[in-house]
Amino acid sequence: MVLPIVIFFSTTISILYYLGFIQWLILKIGWIMQMSMNTSPTESLVAAGNIFVGQVPAAHLLTASVMSAPAALAVAKLFWPEVETLNIATKSNLKLDKGEAKNIIEAACLGAFASITLVANIAVNLIAFLALLAFLNAVLSWLGNMFDEPRLSFELICSYVFMPLAFLMGVDWNDSFMVGELLGVKTFFNEFVAYERLSGLIAKRTDGNLEYVDGLKQYLSIRSEAIATYALCGFANFGSIGIVIGGLSSLAPQRLHDITSVSVRALISGTVASFMTACVAVIFCDPIT
């Protein structure tokens, strides 16, 4: 279901970009973050732009994207503190390009065409990483059988490693094992695979398939679903490091060494930012559901 949504979203954004609404909104949000967080105009605009053009329930995902912008700036400043005074004017006359479209119809077509690459990238990533995960689980299962642990899998390992983090974010203890698995899959593979797993857990509850295995439930509560949605919303995973390095280095080839040197730190800070939004979101979640 995610692929048609990507096409629709890309087309809609392209139309709004042609009308100038996206540029206006990005500038306003960037200005708010610049004034409230004392960040530079460039940092603020990049963070604001990622809400709409960066890489389950749509309301949670949109809210998470908005919350992640200031969270990412805050965590980035903690991981890489600024020690120099910026020589950038606070009231810089920044302008965003309107695009190449000549009318709304062309803007819609360009948006749909632009989504082809993204949709193909998502589909290929899902196929590749799901196949890799299946292979890894087969190897772990084979090793587990040698030590009388046939249920050994990558997901099981992730569940134990990330379960404490899920619990600290506010996930119910009975759900933290499953959410910990999702966090591990997202971190070591990508968010698409994790959301695919999350949708399966959500479907079990909504379809009334409230099954238990060895006394452990196999579905998430509404509260745990919301927290997981926020925690998984991000591009911080090992599978994405190469994509980010390739994209940024193509824009600034002379800064390749700088980009690669901070890649792991960016991965950790991005993960922390996503977890921070989940911690804030849990405040507004019903503790009963």
pLDDT at 210 over 80: no
Answer yes or no: are the C-beta atoms of 179 and 231 closer than 8 Å: yes
Of the candidate ranges 118-122, 165-169, 229-233, 275-279, the one whose mean pLDDT is the lowest? 118-122
Residue 76 lies in a domain: no
Residue 252 resides in a domain: yes
What integer pLDDT is reported at residue 202 of this predicted model? 83
pLDDT of res. 75: 87
Contacts of 54 (CB under 8 A, 6+ apart): 65, 235
Say if 271 falls within a structural domain. Answer: yes
Compare 238 and 278 and report the one with higher pLDDT. 278
**What pLDDT, on the 0 to 100 scale, is given for residue 164?**
93
**C-beta separation of 71 from 277 below 8 A:** yes
Name the domain count of the chain.
1
Tokens, residue 265: 């730190």
pLDDT score recorded for residue 133: 83
193 phi and psi angles, rounded to 5 deg = -65, -40
Is the pLDDT at 110 greater than 60? The verdict is yes
At residue 167, the pLDDT reads 92
Q: Which of 126, 125, 134 is nearest to 155 (CA)?
A: 134
pLDDT single digits (tens) 20-78: 887 787 777 777 877 777 776 666 666 666 665 554 755 666 677 777 778 888 888 88
Q: Write the pLDDT tens digit of every residue in 151-207.
A: 888 888 988 999 999 999 989 888 898 999 999 989 888 888 888 888 888 888 777
List the single range of 26-35, 90-99, 220-229 with lowest mean pLDDT: 90-99
Question: Running DSSP on this structure, what letter comes out for residue 284?
Answer: G
- Give a yes or no: residue 21 inside a domain: no
Most confident of 41-45, 113-117, 139-143, 216-220: 139-143
The residue behind tokens 């695979």 is 193
Q: Is the pLDDT of residue 220 over 60?
A: yes
pLDDT at residue number 55: 47
- Rounded to the nearest integer, the mean pLDDT of the chain is 78
On whether the pTM is more than 0.95, the answer is no
What whole-number percentage of the chain has pLDDT above 70? Answer: 77
Longest CA–CA separation in the chain, Å: 67
Beta bridge partners of 91: none
135 within a domain of the structure (yes/no): no
Residue 263 lies in a domain: yes
How does residue 98 score in pLDDT terms, banded at 50, 70 and 90?
A: low
Domain enclosing residue 261, as ranges? 153-288
Give a yes or no: residue 39 inside a domain: no
The dihedral over CA atoms of 30, 34, 36, 39, expressed in degrees to the nearest 10, equals: 130
pLDDT at 88 over 60: no
95: nearest Cα among 18, 27, 13: 27
Under a CB-based contact definition with an 8 Å cutoff, are residues 233 and 61 in contact?
Answer: yes
What does the pLDDT read at residue 61? 67
Q: Is residue 137 part of a domain?
A: no
Which range, of 79-88, 92-101, 151-160, 174-183, averages the lowest pLDDT?
92-101
Q: Phi-psi category of 82—alpha, beta or left, where left has phi over 0 and alpha has psi -120 to 50?
A: beta
